Amino acid sequence: MILQHKKLVDLLQKAYSAEKAAAFAYQGHAGSLKNSEEVKNIRQIEIDEWNHRREVLELMNHYGVSVSKYYEFRFHVIGKIISASCYVIGWFMPFYFAGRLESGNVCEYFRMMHYFHDLGIKDHDQVLYEMGMKEKEHEIYFLRKIRDSRYLPFFEKIFAWGGMKSYNDVDIEKKYTLENSDAYCRKEAV
């Protein structure tokens, strides 16, 4: 079956390539840290991102969606630049921007679910739900690392993410079941 849904195809291609960028960024992030527990946690998040990339590719292959050479190049460069910058921008910013990125990524997977539902396809709900929830766990981890930083209020005001703002409506403490998760992320990305 070929997907007749332009937004879904683009989102799959973009997510596939962006997961590589995130994994590269986490390589630099982990490498720049001195705390062994933080390094271990960031390395696990990197592994999660590679797993998401593999799972998205499986979906793409199932529907004959090709990998975008443009997105692959673009996100490869972005990931490598972010990875290198982690060694020079200090401790706070890699944690902050990782959390902000993960916050937006949560809805990526729920939007994929919505788009598949537009086509009457519910076969991938479980994997998309799990990836969305894993991204939310990542967001929470990064926010916990910086929540007491004196920089957080300033960054939250400028970049619209932090202790009081999120790019998704998932509450991990009161999360919807898979069957009700279609209610998440109903606002279109801006």
162 φψ region: left (φ > 0), alpha (ψ -120 to 50), beta (else): left
**Tens digits of residue pLDDT in 58-105:** 999 999 999 999 999 999 999 999 999 999 999 999 999 999 999 999
Residue 40 and residue 122 in contact, taking contact as beta carbons nearer than 8 Å: no
What residue segments make up the domains of the chain, in order of their start?
A: 6-183
**CA 147 from chain center: how many Å?**
20
- Residue of 114, 97, 116 lying closest to 167 (CA atoms): 97
pLDDT of amino acid 188: 61
Q: What is the CATH number of domain 6-183?
A: 1.20.1260.10
| More confident call, 3 vs 6 | 6
Residue 190 has pLDDT above 70, yes or no: no
